[in-house]
Each structure stands twice: as C-alpha cells, then as structure tokens.
Amino acid sequence: MRVRRTSRAATWGYVGLALLFLYMPLLPPLGFSVTARPGDGLTLRWYRELGSNPLLVGGIENSLLVALVVGLVTPPLALLAAMAVRELGVPRLVVLVVLLPLFIPGVSLGLATAVFFRALDITPSVWTIAAVHALWALPFAFLVILAVMATFDPVYLEAAYVQGANRWRAFVDVELPMIRHGITGAGIFAVILSFNETVRTALVQGALNTVQTYIWATFLQVGLSPTLHALMSLLIVLTLALVSVLLIVTSRGAAR
C-alpha cells in the first residue's frame, strides 16, 4: 500500500514538473516589461510607449478586426460541419476533411494560401488574413461543438418532430438552446487562436501587420526590446483572460 502511495506521489510530481515546463515560458516577458534596466526599479514606461507607435496601433486594429470576423464566421461553419457529421452519411470523411487544417504545418499552409491568393489576383487584406485564420480555427471550433453536441440526446429532436415541428424549428427551439454555450465557446476559442497566430499570417498579410506579425518582424529586424516584452505581456494576459471567459461560458452551459 505504501509503495502505491509513493508511486502516486511520484506521478503527481512528474505531472507538476511537466506543467512547470509548459508554464515557465509565460513568466519572463512579464518581468522584462516592468524593469527599466537590469537591477533598476520598476517602471511602466514600456507600456506607455506602446501607444505612440503608429505601425503597432495599425497592427492592433487589424488584429481586432480579424479576430472579430473569425469569431463570428467560424462557429456557424463549425456547427454546420458538426451537423454534417451526423446527417451527411459519410462521418469519417467529414471528420477527416474538417480536421485536416490542423495537420498542415503553418509554413506550408501559409505558403499555399498566399500563392493561391496571388494567382487569383486577390490583394492581401484583413479578409484574406481572416479567411486563413478561420481555416486554422475551424478544426478546434468543430471539436468544441462536437463535444457539446455529443452530450445532447437526439431523442429530444424526435420528440419535437412528433409534436409537429419541422427540422428548422426543432433545431432552433430544442437543440440550439442546449448547445448554445458550445457555440459561444467555439467563437471565443477561434478569437484566441486568431489573436495568437503568426506563421500563417506572416505569409498572407502582404503590406499589413497584425500584433503578432509586428512582434515577429521586429524580432527579425532588431531583436527583442522591453517594449516588445510589454506587448507580449499584454497578449499573454489578454489570452489568459479570454481563456477564463471561455471556461466560465462552457462550465456554466454544462451546469445547466
């Protein structure tokens, strides 16, 4: 019995170490963003400087716009895909196709879409960026919605049909209220992914910038700076805040 308890403790220790390994990289930017020079006191100077950079402000605007579009477009697409699994009669194929963007490495996906847009003479815009982000976020949103739909018993739909509801009414009045939190969750997930995307964006953005590609381009040109660390800290905090919202939305929905 004691052996078992020790091995259990060791396993927990191991899980803790793995978590430490994954969480450790979230801390350094926060530290660098509030120190003026190593050894000096704390300062918020780098945060104040963020607002005075027009290139960056433009990038932030683009990021917000793209995230908004992606957050609105992806959930309906993912919902349709999840329903297609149930109704089109080729579930394996639907799952494979919708999950595929997950498996294509970022550089290859970015290159392929960039070249595709260029061949079609589509100039890079927030729309092309949003399209690529939606493609990248679709599999995740799909999985979120699929997981919620799995908890919904289709027997309720049958009951609605018996009561004379057509498919649309049955869906809107019966199924939708029960899976709504999954759809909201998928939207927030899509926004988070869009807000944290660099590699694919960098290849399809043309002359535009997003916050993330601004960071990447500045790093490649001049390296990291306290201002960049301040920006990265904000993004980390924002992402964690969005994750909290996501958790609250999905857990509240699941509790109902």
Partner 1 sequence: MGAFQGSIAGALSSRARRLRRLGRRALLALPLLFVAGLLFVPLGQMFLWSVWERAGFWVRPGFTLAWYRTFVTGARLTVLERSLVVAAGVTVLGLLLAYPIAYFLARHVRREFSRAILLLFTVPFLVNYIIRTFSWVYLLSRTGPINRALVALGITDRAVDWLLFSDFAVCLGLLSSYMPFMIYPLWAALEGIEQPVIEASWLLGAPPPRTFFSVTLPLSMPGVFAAVTFGFVGSFGEGAVPIILGGVGYQLMGNTITSALDVLNYPLAAAMSSVVVMAMLLFLVAWYLAFDLRAVLGKIAHWRF
Name the residue among 142, 136, 135, 137 with its Cα closest to residue 179.
142
Q: How do the residues of the chain divide into helix, strand and coil, expressed in percent and rounded to 5?
A: 80, 0, 20
Nearest to 135 by CA among 169, 103, 91: 103
Q: How far is the CB of 68 from partner 1 (least distance, A)?
A: 18
Non-local (6+) Cβ contacts of 40 within 8 A are: none
Provide the minimum distance between the beta carbon of 57 and partner 1 in the complex, in angstroms, as a whole number. 19
In the block, residue with structure tokens 């306290």 = 226
At its nearest, how many Å lie between partner 1 and the CB of residue 47? 16
First to last CA, the chain: 40
DSSP 56: H
Nearer to partner 1, 24 or 162 (CB): 24
For the bound state, the minimum distance from the C-beta of residue 161 to partner 1, rounded and expressed in Å, comes to: 14
Least distance to partner 1, CB of residue 247, Å:
7
> In the complex, what is the shortest distance from the CB of residue 97 to partner 1, in angstroms, rounded to a whole number?
5
Half-sphere exposure of 171 (CA within 13 A, CB side): 7
The residues pairing with 42 across neighbouring beta strands, listed in sequence order, are 35
Question: CA 143, CA 164: separation in Å to the nearest integer?
Answer: 31
Closer by beta carbon to partner 1, 81 or else 174: 81
Q: Which is nearer to partner 1, 48 or 86 (CB)?
A: 86
User: Do the beta carbons of residue 175 and residue 161 sit within 8 Å?
Assistant: no
- Cα separation, 91 vs 86, in Å, equals 7
Q: Rounded to the nearest whole angstrom, what is the least distance from the CB of residue 200 to partner 1 in the complex?
A: 10
Between helices 126-150 and 106-119, what is the axis angle to 10°?
Answer: 130
